[in-house]
Amino acid sequence: MVRIDGAASLHEINEEEHDATAALDQGQANHAFVPSADEEILMDSELQELMVPDMKESKLVEVRSKLLVFISKRIDSNGGQLVLDKMGISLFIPPCAIERGKPQTVFLALNWDLKDFPEMSASQTIVAPVVHVGPHGLQLKRPATLSFRHCAFDTSQVKVYSSETHLMENKSWSLSEATIQKGKDKTHTILDTECQVHISHFTLYTCIAEGNESKKWLQLVAFGGRMRVHRH
């Protein structure tokens, strides 16, 4: 039997119930992106075969007809950084983001598969690569910073999208939390040529410019054989 002495005690009990509910909701939220071990093995088995604890540089690989630029590293509680060479894509994991005593092999991949691009309306255009951070669903204790290039002409039109799916699943793109949050809680920065997203879990990310007159920068490179000089 619980004795309630006055309104103050009732208020304390209500606060305890609220705290318990909030903790449960938080636990459910943290669990939302965490796949089971069987699901992880089934969906990302090919990627797991590529994961090396300490790759010195990124490499070009093909997985189920998907062309990827890929790198992986073993990251512990001291943090670390992954960089896709010459791609302008990096992942910085701060100290204490990975639980002490439980190091993780983390990978970063640029996905060239056009079929994985988001479906877009006539007023939208993709302005960044599709970047996959894995293993899919891994939760961090502190946010990591994912940086990648964009080619938007007007940075105010850029929105961050994410697909809470494995690389081999059908994609389900939607505005990411980084775009939805406002003010002090805003978790992304759009620079002139770079997007920096603070992420608390690993999945797929990209950027889309939205507007009736969305524009993006294009860089064209011409290729040709060596010219031969014919002497008469």
CA torsion, ordered 107, 111, 117, 123, to nearest 10 deg: 100
Supply 30's token pair.
Answer: 């943290």
- Tell me the pTM: 0.72
Position 8 scores a pLDDT of 37
Closest to 207 in 3D by CA, of 184, 189, 183, 219 = 189
Spatial separation of the C-alpha atoms in residues 90 and 146, rounded to whole Å: 6
pLDDT tens figures, 106-154:
999 999 999 999 999 988 999 999 999 988 888 999 999 999 999 998 8
For the chain, what percent of residues have pLDDT higher than 70? Answer: 70
> pLDDT digits over 68-107, tens only?
999 999 999 999 999 999 999 999 999 999 999 999 999 9
Residue 69's beta-bridge partner residues? 60, 110
CA–CA separation, 130 vs 37, rounded Å? 25
pLDDT of residue 40 exceeding 60: no
- Written as six digits, the tokens of 56 are 């010195």
Tell me whether strands 59-63 and 89-93 are parallel, antiparallel or unpaired: unpaired
Question: Could you tell me the pLDDT band of residue 43, with boundaries at 50, 70 and 90?
Answer: low
Q: How far is CA 158 from CA 62, 179, 186, 228, in A?
A: 30, 9, 14, 46
Ordered structural domains, the chain, with CATH: 37-210 (2.60.220.30)
